[in-house]
Amino acid sequence: MHNFDLKNKSAIVTGGAQGFGLDIAKRFIKSGSKVSIWDIDETELKKASNNINSKNLRFDVVDVSNFTQVKNAVEKIAENNNVDILVNSAGITGPTAELWNYTIEDWLKIIEINLHGTFYCCKAVIPHMIKNNYGRIVNIASVSGKDGNANASAYSSSKAGVIGLTKSLGKELALNNIAVNAVTPAGANTRILDQMSNEHVQRMLSKVPKGRFLEVHELTSMVCWLSSEENSFSTAAVFDISGGRSTY
């Protein structure tokens, strides 16, 4: 497994208590970075902290859909460290249902966490990156943001929004040595699948030419490269990791 050089870097990983976020945090620390993991679940954060067991890890209970909490957490970190890397991994799928049967409350919650949460974190972090003339932002979108998934209109819409945000923001920051990219994974064997019906999960799997779900470490490797100084030219881009499901 390739070793990435993230020495002397400081990262924030949202949704870092489990799934993609936790694996990314582990790999960042092994690559030399200081990492702050954010999650709304303090119990899971403590488990993750004990699991990683590193002096270079801190955790903060942060609801990414609350801008005040996000801004305060960023300012607290920035008192002692630069914010070099931001990985927006926090997200929920919500219920699987036809659009006309979606409750307005469920729709708004998914958009607020997945799309607005990404916006809030970027808004709070970017001024610090501009000040330091350096930054790497990776937004975890989804192949559903490209293709759309039936019975997941809110989730698909939120991830399409993250893709659009990434493309716009990357262009805005192109001259500031700040790279902003998105990754679009297909389904992976993480706890997020527990939020979906078995029928929906099997429908997702049937669309992947490789015939299997994504392994978490495969996405982590891509995120690590995008978060490193080696990525000096790719920005405002969308990197597919869907086992052949999407080819654009």
**Residues with catalytic roles:** 155
User: How big is the chain, counted in residues?
Assistant: 248
Q: How does 64-81 read in b/e, with b if 16+ C-beta sit within 10 Å?
A: bbbbebbeebbeebbeee
Q: How many whole angstroms separate alpha carbon 96 and alpha carbon 154?
A: 9
Q: Which residues, other chains included, contact 62 with Cβ-Cβ below 8 Å and sequence gap of 6+? A: 14, 38, 39, 40, 69, 70, 73
User: Three-state secondary structure along 116-172?
Assistant: HHHHHHHHHHHHHHHHHCCEEEEEECCCHHHHCCCCCHHHHHHHHHHHHHHHHHHHH
Residue keyed to tokens 């990314």: 24
Residue keyed to tokens 């893709």: 163
Q: Which residues, other chains included, contact 221 with Cβ-Cβ below 8 Å and sequence gap of 6+? A: 1, 2, 27
